[in-house]
Amino acid sequence: MKIFNTLSRQKEEFVPLEEGKVRMYVCGPTVYNLIHIGNARPMIIFDTVRRYFAYKGFAVDYVSNFTDVDDKIIAKANEEGVSSEEISERYIAECKKDMEGLNVLPASVHPRATEEIDGMIHMIDALIDKGFAYRADDGTVYYRTRQFKDYGKLSHKNIDDLEAGHRDINVTGELKEDPLDFVLWKPKKEGEPYWESPWSEGRPGWHIECSVMSKRYLGDQIDIHAGGEDLIFPHHENEIAQSEAANGVPFANYWMHNAFLNIDHKKMSKSLGNFFTVRDISEKYDLQVLRFFMLSAHYRSPLNFSDELMEAAKSGLERITTCAEKMRFVGKQAAADAMTQEEEALYAQTDRFVAKFEEAMEDDFNTADAIAAVFELVRFINQNIEGATRTFAEQLYDRLHTLCEVLGIVIEKEEELLDDAIEALIEERQQARKDKNFARADEIRDQLLQQGIQLKDTREGVQWTRV
């Protein structure tokens, strides 16, 4: 299995720290509003990475945090006249609803920054003791960026080229020893939440939060750290500086970053009126369509969101779910249980689609090619499912289900029941066809279609779907 490592800028063979286990940390959202579709991309991508590791037999410890103390949360709380805690609790709950809709599995642990303050104080204290951090006169604690010799190794930035005042890293202030130093702890302002510390009543800087939460739940060294490419610098760069200085070991062996999501080839922005939350999309599409769309491109490729591409994703997903529905129907109607010799030979041919799927996923989680392999399997099933035995239909279904489960694509449907009147009409139509009363059969078919029930006559019997 090869992973593109942002650290080395090349694909590397994945070798876990501990055989059969994967320790993975993914930066989660800052919870001050509903998550937008840009937030959804890393959630879906790295959930799929996690699922594939599990499919391959790894035990995965998957940690993804909620940043629940932040300037934006405080601003939202002040705007509504409520506490920061009320805002973060509200939007953590809303985020979990959207994650469920996207079929994103809950993390092994979802730590919250506000519950890990003691660990942050402890790590900051250790950095001060080692000379990597210092307290300013106002109670702010800064990290000595130049003290960490490898600073810039993830973003491949040269620290000497980072000029004072660079918006990515600097906040000008006379209390800093160096303009490049960044905040580990900040003293409180009026009306802000705060915690007691040896330096001041205040709260942690953003970067220290993830370093501490990763350390607590996964250890000093982890296999994979992941997030959006916008986090490479300064957030992930600063995490490395903090964690490696404090712990004395490499922080993460592999760094994975997904590319940006654009809207009609433009950056998503409220000012441009092209800002969409996951909840907005759910009003128009099943969120399975959004997930399928996100997986239709390689995670390191920029992805363009548009109505046309979402409609294409909807059609692609329907090809898969329609095939699954057909297999379920055939399996129920089948006269024989056991596979024929011909079916056994056909089933053996599906191994090649599984092999293509795995080959794509092993090559830096190429979900676009993995989906292409699923479509090949769907085409093969559609060509060979008519008149199948129950076992053949069920085993083909299981094969498709297993691959889709890795992608987080749901093909099972809850059994829908028709009311007695509609069941009676379907039976009457079946009898009318036997009696060669085709006018009445067509009349019933049209009547059912007006009620949202579409009928399809197959060799195995009549099949219905809601439209």
Mean pLDDT, rounded, for 300-316: 96
Q: Which of 36, 101, 33 is nearest to 275 (CA)?
A: 36
Mean pLDDT, rounded, for 80-96: 97
Q: Of 60-64, 308-312, 434-438, which gets the smallest average pLDDT? A: 434-438
> What pLDDT is recorded for position 267?
85
In whole numbers, what is the pLDDT of the chain averaged over residues?
92
Cα 280 to Cα 54: distance, rounded to the nearest angstrom: 31
Q: Where does the pLDDT of residue 412 fall: very low under 50, low under 70, confident under 90, or very high at 90 and above? A: confident
Q: What is the DSSP string of 207-219?
A: HHHHHHHHHHHH-
DSSP state of 467: -
Q: Where does the pLDDT of residue 418 fall: very low under 50, low under 70, confident under 90, or very high at 90 and above? A: low
Residue 343 has pLDDT above 90, yes or no: yes
Cα 273 to Cα 264: distance, rounded to the nearest angstrom: 12
Q: Do residues 368 and 295 lie in contact, with contact meaning Cβ atoms separated by under 8 Å? A: yes
> What pLDDT is recorded for position 170?
44
Cα 207 to Cα 229: distance, rounded to the nearest angstrom: 15
Tokens of 447: 């009547």
> What pLDDT is recorded for position 460?
57
User: Hey, is 16 helix, strand or coil?
Assistant: coil
Q: Where does the pLDDT of residue 414 fall: very low under 50, low under 70, confident under 90, or very high at 90 and above? A: low
> What pLDDT is recorded for position 431?
83
Residue 152 has pLDDT above 70, yes or no: yes
> What pLDDT is recorded for position 441?
81
> What pLDDT is recorded for position 162?
80
> What pLDDT is recorded for position 466?
66
Mean pLDDT, rounded, for 3-18: 98
Cα 204 to Cα 198: distance, rounded to the nearest angstrom: 12
**Which of 165-179, 237-251, 413-427 tops mean pLDDT?**
237-251
> What pLDDT is recorded for position 163?
56
Q: Which residues pair with 60 in a beta bridge?
A: 22
Between 128 and 442, name the one with better pLDDT.
128
Between 154 and 421, name the one with better pLDDT.
154
Percent of the chain with pLDDT over 90: 79
Cα angle for residues 350, 356, 360 (degrees, 5° grid): 150
Residue 169 has pLDDT above 60, yes or no: no
Compute φ and ψ for 353, nearest 5 degrees: -75, -35
Q: Which of 160, 181, 159 is nearest to 170 (CA)?
A: 181
User: Cα torsion for 242, 232, 364, 209, to the nearest 10°?
Assistant: 40
Residue 406 has pLDDT above 50, yes or no: yes
> What pLDDT is recorded for position 457?
78
Angle 287-294/37-55 helices, nearest 10 degrees?
70
Residue 222 has pLDDT above 70, yes or no: yes
**Helices marked H in 102-189:** 117-129
CB atoms within 10 A of CB 219: 14
> What pLDDT is recorded for position 332?
85
> What pLDDT is recorded for position 173?
52
Mean pLDDT, rounded, for 227-231: 97
Q: Where does the pLDDT of residue 445 fall: very low under 50, low under 70, confident under 90, or very high at 90 and above? A: confident
> What pLDDT is recorded for position 165?
40
Cα 247 to Cα 130: distance, rounded to the nearest angstrom: 11
Q: Of 13-22, 50-59, 264-273, 291-300, which gets the smallest average pLDDT? A: 264-273
Mean pLDDT, rounded, for 41-61: 98
Percent of the chain with pLDDT over 70: 94
Residue 255 has pLDDT above 90, yes or no: yes
> What pLDDT is recorded for position 392?
96
Residue 273 has pLDDT above 90, yes or no: no
Between 165 and 428, name the one with better pLDDT.
428
- pLDDT, tens digit, for every residue of 118-137? 999 999 999 999 999 999 99
